[in-house]
Structure 1
């Protein structure tokens, strides 16, 4: 499927401010600011990263509101050109850097507005990732609410039936519920479980890093401010102005991969090369005590030891090698059995 998934969305007039000019800091300024960001990561106790389309442009996936963004061109009466499909796109340096930072306990959660699936396919743990607008590679059962990471892009969008059946084993046989895609249309409600989990991590964080987002879609755009409100710091990495620039403690203008490359060098962390899609169910790191999760859920989380988590990750890696496997593995979100899409609709706030 073409990365122009937006063509499958319903018509919507207010798509925000598009086509703003890009602003780039001088190389020496980027170097200085990247070092400051590395120091903030070193000294922070809980770090939440917020990602937008700008982390995936290096993979050949265009952004939406940049000078050559999908909606910028649409407003000009032009059609965007695409050289890659979602299936062909591979995680960028920034995706891989975030995986390594999480492995080493430097960052603790990602809130993403992207639907390209590159965070999951890069190996970022599913239980530390909120994909508020869905994922082109995940499908969810309408009966038992189990979620699956697929080896192919969903054929539908807008929470519609995909034609797949649930393989969850129940008493008396398989669930056989119908699977639906997880891609939100403009008027669809955000998944309550992921939004609530994002809220808890953002409130507990002492550092929020936004990468590649113009911060125009709410409520996702306002989540970094929860960290600021609770005394934390906000860093914004983006080529265009955002409505929260004045609230940022550090503002870096540049390409995500260039900046993250400097940051990783300053942290002396080597980022492995990408070889193949790897899906990890659970992080090897404990959820920080400062995150106010439900007590019952926390007891359940603690009962799963690292060995079992790693075994689950190995199962995923093994399954993903099989070319004919459609259902890779059920992901173990902490509230998957209690999904209730009743939260606020996706809205646009202009700068």
Structure 2
């Protein structure tokens, strides 16, 4: 998790009960409750899911109030816990992917999330069926035209501040802002209103991995009760809303939801993450001697020239068939190679991208053919751009 975000959250004054003991239903009772939950879901006509930090702990993202949670350890003077992996490498859990399948099956109508890890969107939940009450560390928004941008890297700021990028809309170009709330920020009206409307329409709210202690978000699920809806809570600790729930299950969220999916004969799809990057080749002739060509090769993010590529560790560049050209290893971002060479008609550049942990393979190789002697206005730079994708599992 972002250390900056965790430290900001740890400064909150009103954090409710911390370090609550984890409770586990006995195996037999747990199985009965899982089947009961499956039946309730099967009979529901408008299911809304409300998620908290417990939904993402199996992804390596720490929670807040558990025995090793962010706020618990902070109050004990032990500082902010380290995540088991960088935020951008966290992958959706079994629960995230099960919700995707439930949505595709027409059972799940909407998801309300208190998490900022962006895993619901990464998993495949449609944006129009998701309210992120506390924001998304990977989402930027244009305050002028409302355009949203989902990134493959963690946005640099929190607290609805300006980021280094601008809106790409031609008539706008306003500075973008992050979407993650700081401690004193109010919940976003658009997301809050949508969440409240969905809960009022729901005949069942399934609360997953949330302590239901942060107001006003924790009161939203109870709106379903006004129209005769049910609330079911799956959490490892007691919550202040347990008394309002039709069913309370103390168990690991992934285990409970996996059991429900099995009972419903629904398959949990695997998660395959696709990251996209671009290779930009720019060339121009030397005005004093047309036999030579100056060129630049850049491996870059599709999100902007200065945006990072979190899944690429280094780039090795070689030139098969051109032994006179020196190979290069680009180990720091931005991955940029500048050369001046004799302008032969064509050349093949071989790029080996060494990828970070979590990718489906440790590296990928790309043959990048270039033509040094194509038509070229001497006063104009020529750009050749190709877009590629890398899969992660």
Unpaired stretches in structure 1, ≥5 consecutive residues: 278-319, 328-351
Q: Does 1:322 align with 2:265?
A: no
Shift of 1:142: 2.1
Q: Alpha carbons of 1:4 and 1:43: their partners in 2 closer, same or farther (altered >3 Å)?
A: farther
**TM-score, length-scaled by structure 1:** 0.78
Shift of 1:30: 1.2
Shift of 1:169: 3.3
Structure-2 residue corresponding to 1:215: 212
* 1:247-290 residue CA offsets vs partner (Å, 9 max, x unmatched): 1101000000000110000010011111115xxxxxxxxxxxxx
- Confirm or deny: 8 A CA contact 1:202 1:223 kept in the other structure: yes
**Partner secondary structure for residue 89 of structure 2:** coil
Distance 1:57 1:11 in 2: 21
Shift of 1:3: 5.8
Query: Is the helix fraction higher in 1 or 2?
Result: 1
**Partner secondary structure for residue 322 of structure 1:** strand
The correspondence of residues 6-85 of structure 1 with structure 2, limited to 5 A, is 6-9=6-9, 11-79=11-79, 80-85=81-86
- Confirm or deny: 8 A CA contact 2:205 2:224 kept in the other structure: yes
Q: Alpha carbons of 1:232 and 1:248: their partners in 2 closer, same or farther (altered >3 Å)?
A: same
Distance 2:51 2:264 in 1: 20
The correspondence of residues 142-221 of structure 1 with structure 2, limited to 5 A, is 142-170=143-171, 175-221=172-218
Residues matched between the structures, number = 281
Runs of 4+ in 1 over 3 A off after TM superposition: 1-4, 8-11
Of residues 242, 255, 266, the one that matches 2:252 is: 255
Distance 2:16 2:166 in 1: 37
Distance 1:156 1:140 in 2: 12
- Confirm or deny: 8 A CA contact 1:204 1:227 kept in the other structure: yes
The correspondence of residues 279-318 of structure 1 with structure 2, limited to 5 A, is none
**TM-score, length-scaled by structure 2:** 0.69
Shift of 1:13: 1.6
Shift of 1:180: 0.6
Distance 1:76 1:53 in 2: 20
Query: Is the strand fraction higher in 1 or 2?
Result: 2
Distance 1:45 1:182 in 2: 32
Q: Does 1:272 align with 2:269?
A: yes
Shift of 1:4: 6.3
- Confirm or deny: 8 A CA contact 2:157 2:178 kept in the other structure: yes
Distance 1:4 1:276 in 2: 26
- Confirm or deny: 8 A CA contact 2:133 2:191 kept in the other structure: yes
Shift of 1:322: 2.9
- Confirm or deny: 8 A CA contact 2:53 2:209 kept in the other structure: yes
